[in-house]
Amino acid sequence: MKTLSASFDRLPPEGLFLARWLKAPHRIGALAPASRHLARAMADQIGPSEAMVIELGGGTGSVTSALLDSGLDPKRLVVIEHDRVFHALLTRRFPLVTVIRGDAADLRALLAPLGIDHCSAVVSSLPLLSLPKPQRLKIVAEAFALLGERGRFIQYTYGAFSPLRRRETGLKGEVAERVWLNFPPAAVWRFRRREAIEAA
């Protein structure tokens, strides 16, 4: 494992991302990591005083880095990453952040040993549109079981439409920011429970 990790360390983030995409395109979902512009747009949806933030799909750490740069306490951030190489990289890059290797569809079970049963925001870089529908819905259900009534689920997409359909999830989504400087251009979506918005 040490030799494998060392060889990947020599690759730039774009090269590492491409290498992992070639191995598992359905899980990685993109040829390159989020640009600094996209990562900053994601982080802009999160306040530095958030009680707890869960990041899904940390990848090479571009969004993780942006979240920390925005002032978020690393003790209030937990990153879930399924890929073993990305997990090892994130663990080394961000020693003060809790990085867990596992499937986001098992989110509550992964967080239970840490005593975490609530969070104020989930930031996702997962390729939701390329995942099977049951897995996609399970991930969203797990996230909102932690988010409660007023929590936000932040997701970016390269597609022209919402990555989560309202009739499937019951969520209210809106475009929080469009990032034209990313390649390809991306949209950052913010999702909340419809009933929480209607009651506000």
Residue 20 is part of which domain span? 2-199
Q: What is the pLDDT of residues 124-149, one digit of tens each?
A: 999 898 899 999 999 999 999 999 88
Confidence class of residue 150 from pLDDT cuts 50, 70 and 90? confident
Cis peptide leading into 95, omega within 30 of 0? no
Cα distances (angstroms) measured from residue 12 to each of 15, 34, 83? 5, 13, 17
pLDDT at 195 over 70: no
CATH of residue 63's domain is 3.40.50.150
- Residue 149 CB: number of other CB atoms within 10 A? 12
pLDDT at 2 over 50: no
φ, ψ for residue 196, nearest 5 deg: -70, -35
Q: What is the pLDDT of residues 68-87, one digit of tens each?
A: 999 999 999 999 999 998 99
**CA atoms of 1 and 90, how far apart (whole Å):** 15
Stated pTM of the model: 0.84
* Beta strand spans in the chain (E): 53-56, 77-81, 98-101, 121-124, 152-157, 171-179, 186-193
Give the total number of structural domains in the chain: 1
**Largest pairwise CA distance in the chain:** 55
**Coil, helix or strand for 198?**
helix
Closest of 108, 92, 110, 109 to residue 100, by C-alpha: 110
pLDDT at 13 over 70: no
Fill in the amino acid letter for 63.
Answer: V
**CA atoms of 12 and 173, how far apart (whole Å):** 34
pLDDT at 24 over 70: no
pLDDT at 199: 47
Confidence class of residue 1 from pLDDT cuts 50, 70 and 90? very low
pLDDT at 34: 79
Mean residue pLDDT of the chain comes to 86
pLDDT at 112: 98
- Residue 103 CB: number of other CB atoms within 10 A? 16
pLDDT at 175: 97
